[in-house]
Chains A and B, each alone.
Chain A
Amino acid sequence: AQSVAQPEDQVNVAEGNPLTVKCTYSVSGNPYLFWYVQYPNRGLQFLLKYITGDNLVKGSYGFEAEFNKSQTSFHLKKPSALVSDSALYFCAVRSYTGGFKTIFGAGTRLFVKA
């Protein structure tokens, strides 16, 4: 069965420092991987995706993520965090298990301190 894990409930980082939000997955076959962000009182927004090709993908708001097939990970990164990056981040994976299905991780709350 496919699964997505976000091992940290919360990540705290100081403004200007680099940030990493972790995601690991377990699927059969080749996964499509996504990151979404949920700001307070707003819907989920698509940030970036990995389908194929370059393992480092760039997305909105200066975020990027690195696909690591051997470690089955897709960590979200940003070189310099902003207070406005504080939000709830979800990793999602789409793969074929008796049909194409997308499942979401439980989410990681990012708190950036000024």
Chain B
Amino acid sequence: EAGVAQSPRYKIIEKRQSVAFWCNPISGHATLYWYQQILGQGPKLLIQFQNNGVVDDSQLPKDRFSAERLKGVDSTLKIQPAKLEDSAVYLCASSLGRASGSYEQYFGPGTRLTVT
């Protein structure tokens, strides 16, 4: 079974530039999550999708971050414009979801973003 795929693995941009991350979850996983992990901290949930609907985006900085999950499969997370404090690893995860009663999450390798 293929795992969660993410690209790119690394990205370096200047502040005020824009960047986009892509995620392909495990096939059949209804729930998709985007996390921000700053060095030395645990992952912080940015947004959670159930199929193609947003379940929770309470911690997403909506003035600069956006995310979509068209067709309930792949997802993209965008930052525009980036700030220095956005430097972090962005993790995508998926889980089977509520209908299965299985809530453990499976993570991709992450995208390490450096904003200079």
Contact = CB atoms under 8 A, between A and B. Distances in A.
B25 interface: no
A93 B108 CA distance: 20
Given A90-B42, A100-B55, 10 more contacts: A34-B105, A43-B110, A44-B91, A44-B93, A44-B105, A44-B107, A46-B104, A49-B104, A99-B55, A103-B42
Contacts of B55: 99-100
Interface in A14-66: 32, 34, 36, 42-46, 49, 51
A103 to B, nearest CB: 7
Given A43-B91, A43-B110, A102 B42 contact: no
B56 A99 contact: yes
Contact of A32 (B56, B103, B110): B103
Interface of B: 4, 33, 40-45, 55-56, 91, 93, 98, 101, 103-110
A43 B106 CA distance: 9
Contacts of A104: 42-44
Main secondary structure of the interface of A (DSSP, over half): strand
A107 B41 CA distance: 7
A31 to B, nearest CB: 11
Range, interface on chain A? 20 to 34
- Residue from A34, A90, A102 having most chain B Cβ neighbours under 10 A: A102
Interface of A: 4, 32, 34, 36, 42-46, 49, 51, 90, 92, 94, 99-107
26 contacts: A4-B42, A34-B103, A34-B105, A36-B105, A43-B91, A43-B109, A44-B43, A44-B91, A44-B105, A46-B104, A46-B106, A49-B103, A49-B104, A92-B42, A99-B56, A100-B55, A100-B98, A101-B45, A102-B45, A102-B103, A103-B45, A104-B42, A104-B44, A106-B42, A107-B41, A107-B42
Minimum-distance CB pairs A-B, first 10? A104-B42, A43-B107, A44-B107, A46-B104, A43-B109, A106-B42, A104-B43, A107-B42, A105-B42, A49-B104
A46 B44 CA distance: 17
B74 to A, nearest CB: 18
